[in-house]
């Protein structure tokens, strides 16, 4: 595979088995990847493409759900983990 292509793979349930996130320089590079690399592989029966128009939000942080009745249990954990109360997200 070309060094200019970045691929991330996630196994999913539903109609498809995998979701690939592919970052390429342009549409021509994507077409080359799709036709030669992906669909050229014997174990790939088909593919469906969707393109992101805009990145709305990206984060690697996971929200922590804290119920009001159990908030006191998390205060000690926050001090142990050296987090401030403002770093704990309440949904």
CA–CA separation, 91 vs 88, rounded Å?
Answer: 10
Distances (CA, A) of 87 to 5, 61, 62, 74: 35, 11, 11, 12
Confidence at residue 90, expressed as pLDDT on a 0 to 100 scale:
41
Average pLDDT of the residues in 45-53? 87
Q: What is this structure's pTM?
A: 0.55
Confidence of residue 2 (pLDDT cuts 50, 70, 90): low
Structure tokens at 32: 């080359």
pLDDT of 65 strictly over 80: no
- Yes or no: say if 47 and 56 are a contact pair by the CB < 8 Å rule: no
pLDDT of 39 strictly over 90: yes
| Rounded-to-10 torsion of CA 6, 41, 17, 58 | 10
pLDDT of 1 strictly over 60: no
pLDDT of 83 strictly over 50: no
């Amino acid at each position: 595979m070309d060094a200019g292509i970045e691929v991330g793979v996630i196994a999913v349930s539903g109609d498809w088995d995998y979701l690939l996130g592919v970052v390429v320089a342009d549409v021509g590079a994507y077409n080359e990847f799709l036709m030669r690399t992906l669909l050229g592989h014997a174990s790939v029966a088909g593919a469906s493409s969707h393109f992101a128009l805009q990145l709305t939000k990206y984060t690697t942080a996971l929200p922590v759900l804290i119920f009001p009745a159990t908030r006191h249990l998390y205060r000690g954990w926050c001090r142990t983990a050296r987090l401030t109360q403002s770093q704990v997200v309440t949904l």
